[in-house]
């Protein structure tokens, strides 16, 4: 195998893609613990608006974040159905509510770039990169930023 081929292989990343309020998003497959299609959320009073509550998954309490709200995308359709992507940060399980799971895809890092400056800072802080495929632009979510309770997503909500 030539060095060029080895470098190309090292630059490939597999992502789980999903939609959130009409936006195509992804997480590295290494960051996704599991996907749940059926769950019962228990509301938590006094939680930030982007936290829908908690769920019990095999005896473990999982905080549930509405990823659309976290990104500043509002869609309060009461008939909206969710799928939950379970991630971990520092041993804590967190469920991200997304609209639909799309696919798993492999993307070369050369097809990805930093989020454009015209995206609101409140959303850009949660996006690691934007990747171009043959059919779409996909926002790669920054798992750590989304799970960080210190980031409230309202900083500079008016723009850059």
pLDDT tens sequence across 94-143: 999 999 999 999 999 999 999 888 887 778 899 999 999 988 999 999 99
CA distances from residue 89 to 19, 77, 128 in whole angstroms, order as listed: 22, 29, 16
Q: Is the pLDDT of residue 157 over 90?
A: no
Residue with more model confidence, 129 or 77: 129
Q: Is the pLDDT of residue 154 over 60?
A: no
- Please, what is the average pLDDT of the chain? 86
Q: Show Cβ contacts of residue 137 under 8 Å, excluding neighbours closer than 6 positions.
A: 24, 130, 131
Give the tens place of pLDDT for each residue, 23-53.
Answer: 999 999 999 999 999 999 999 999 998 999 9
Confidence at 149, pLDDT banded by 50, 70, 90: confident
Q: Is the pLDDT of residue 62 over 60?
A: yes
Domain extents for the chain?
14-147
Report the pLDDT value the prediction gives residue 121, as an integer from 0 to 100. 77
Q: Is the pLDDT of residue 156 over 50?
A: no
Report the pLDDT value the prediction gives residue 10, as an integer from 0 to 100. 56
Which single residue is written with the structure tokens 């171009």? 132
Asked if CATH classification 2.40.50.180 holds for the domain at 14-147, the reply, yes or no, is yes
Prediction pTM value: 0.84
Q: Is the pLDDT of residue 78 over 90?
A: no
């Amino acid at each position: 195998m030539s060095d060029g081929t080895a470098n190309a292989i090292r630059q490939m990343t597999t992502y789980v893609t999903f939609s959130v309020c009409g936006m195509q998003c992804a997480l590295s497959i290494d960051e996704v613990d599991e996907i749940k299609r059926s769950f019962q959320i228990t509301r938590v009073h006094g939680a930030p608006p982007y936290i829908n509550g908690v769920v019990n998954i095999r005896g473990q309490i999982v905080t549930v974040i509405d990823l659309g709200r976290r990104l500043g995308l509002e869609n309060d359709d009461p008939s909206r159905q969710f799928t939950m992507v379970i991630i971990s940060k520092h041993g804590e399980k967190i469920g991200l509510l997304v609209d639909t799971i799309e696919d798993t895809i492999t993307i070369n890092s050369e097809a990805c770039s930093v989020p454009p400056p015209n995206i609101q800072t409140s959303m850009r802080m949660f996006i690691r990169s934007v990747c171009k495929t043959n059919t779409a632009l996909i926002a790669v979510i920054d798992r750590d930023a989304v799970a960080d309770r210190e980031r409230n997503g309202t900083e500079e909500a008016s723009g850059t």
